[in-house]
Amino acid sequence: MSSTMTNSPNSVVGLLATRLAESADRTAIWTKSGEWRSRSWHAVGQDVSRMASWLISRGIERGDCVAQLSENRYEWLIADLAMHVVGAVHVPIHAPLTGEQAAFQIRDSGTKLVLVSTAEQLEKLVAQSEYLPHALQCFSYEKCDQAIGAQPCKQVLAELPAYDEGAANALLAAAVAETNGDTLATILYTSGTTGEPKGVMLSNRNLVSNTLAATEPFAQGPEDLRLAFLPLSHIFARTCDLYTWLASGSQLALAQARETVIADCADMRPTLMNGVPYFFEKVVNALAAVDFTTSPNALRDLLGGRIRCCCSGGAALPTHVFDFFTKHGVPLLQGYGLTESSPVITLSSEQSVRRGAVGRAIPDVEVRIADDGEILTRGPHVMMGYFKNQVATDEVIRDGWLHTGDIGHLDEAGFLFITGRKKELIVTSGGKNIAPVYLESLLTRDPLIAQAVVIGDDRKYLVALLVPEFAGLEAEMATRGIELSDSVNNLQHDDVVKLFEDRIASCLASVSHYEQVRKFTLLDRGFTVESGELTPKLTLRRKSIQANFHHLIDAMYVDE
């Protein structure tokens, strides 16, 4: 696949066409299967063309939804770019999600074809066969022998057509001509505050404008190499790794796994890298655990020796991590955004950085602070809306301004500082958005759990404070022939703890692993209005609860 088109791209397929025209013989991407292997942009174009032709042969037309349930891999990004060529709407499903969660997204979006990576991912859907569309086509990257209902899952690679350069060029030219900024490109499901996922619709204009604006502060060329390890199913990696690679013509290396990132750095020696605070904090802790004071370049060496800068997003970056990177000569630059904003709203650069700030608004993006402190933003990055949910759309986009649900302020130079969260969402240090209200509702369905508060903002995992239904607990233990003494000791009894561990696991069986409660504490009293822990409407006052029980919460994070 090649192109001679030079028009300024307003679509992702336009970015692809430009890149193939300008960089065909240059190295594009590195992947590892035994050994690291490179592919040129021309080879990438060939693979995209074959996948696009195959999608068309399976009856996929412009506007059809195609889902992908897969970890990061070369096929993931080839399929994404092929969907842009075909004009299909990509519905990326996060690999850690349960089968029930994945099936909801497939049903809700009206997906016609789903691509899965492995037999393990396919098993999730097989278990949900009765809840999936009868005519759903399923294909896998690795060989799988199972079927979803009456539909067998076939291997994609066995069906891909041979490369036809003339047909490929015609297909790409038609795609560029037929796709404009208003064309829907993707639907990404994100946690609502009640746990009901909402499909964020992003257009080509959303994605391209955000990619180009976020790329502008960082000079990048063919010799730059970006190591990508964040999930491509999240918009942060999709825009800031995948499409940035496409726009800049740099090289991209796909990390083998989260656990191999440092080893991959040693092999590939990246110059640029995006991550979440949890990763950068792990790097700091790893160096702090050894004597590296004799090596002034220890941090840079750990990251491969060529690193120019790292960017952090998805959650709040601890100040001590920023300070450590700065002290050791590796710029660690914060940004801020949401899935609904494609995602970047503000960004730091080497020339424009302020300690504790998440940067300044990127080009063509406006930011202002509402009277109540909420951060609002307006511009080409704001989503088209929530899929089939105009009410929810109207709640967050008013007069063109996206209401982020975050609280903050702007300083005199336009740097944005995040100071709190208006909406009830937990954002872990790994950048996962989690709806505590939904998890709490699942927990309190159990007759032995009277009240529950889930905690985990800026932490590595979730914990919970639970108030038992004391009469029910006593009766339950009596049926087991176990006598309990006073209430405080009751809650520390091994059998009581085991009982609640089992109940929690049962309550949260339908949610993903990062939504699981890792630790919990049973309280000997309930939350009350009088203590300031409940509003008069009996809703939780989370800040008051966390302040009143901070010692118990901290104890659950001692090994964090």
Domains of the chain: 12-179 (3.40.50.980), 209-423 (3.40.50.12780), 435-555 (3.30.300.30)
pLDDT at 8: 64
Q: Rounded distance, CA 266 to CA 257, Å?
A: 14
| pLDDT tens figures, 144-180 | 989 998 889 999 988 999 999 999 999 999 999 999 9
| pLDDT tens figures, 115-126 | 999 999 999 999
Q: Give 485-498 as a 3 state SS string.
A: CCHHHHCCCHHHHH
Average of per-residue pLDDT across 233-255: 97
Least confident of 22-26, 269-273, 321-325, 478-482: 478-482
pLDDT at 553: 97
User: What's the pLDDT band for 193 if we cut at 50, 70, 90?
Assistant: low
CB 116 within 8 A of CB 125: yes
- CB atoms under 10 Å from CB of 496, counted, come to 20
pLDDT at 422: 83
In whole numbers, what is the pLDDT of the chain averaged over residues? 93
Residue 139, phi then psi, degrees to nearest 5: -135, 150
Q: Rounded distance, CA 117 to CA 115, Å?
A: 7
Contacts of 350 (CB under 8 A, 6+ apart): 217, 309, 331, 333
pLDDT at 6: 39
User: What's the pLDDT band for 191 if we cut at 50, 70, 90?
Assistant: confident
For 168, the token pair is 């490929």
User: What's the pLDDT band for 315 if we cut at 50, 70, 90?
Assistant: confident
| pLDDT tens figures, 322-380 | 999 999 999 999 999 999 999 999 999 999 999 999 999 999 999 999 999 999 999 99
- Side-chain half-sphere CA neighbours of 216 within 13 A: 14
Residue 31 pLDDT exceeds 50:
yes
Burial pattern 66-103, b for ≥16 Cβ within 10 A else e, equals bbbbbbbbbbbbbbbbbbbbbbbbbbbbbbebbbebbb
User: What's the pLDDT band for 425 if we cut at 50, 70, 90?
Assistant: confident
Q: What is the pTM of this model?
A: 0.86
User: What's the pLDDT band for 487 if we cut at 50, 70, 90?
Assistant: low
Q: Rounded distance, CA 150 to CA 130, Å?
A: 10
Contacts of 307 (CB under 8 A, 6+ apart): 265, 270, 271, 272, 273, 300, 330
| pLDDT tens figures, 93-144 | 999 999 999 999 999 999 999 999 999 999 999 999 999 999 999 999 999 9
pLDDT at 109: 98
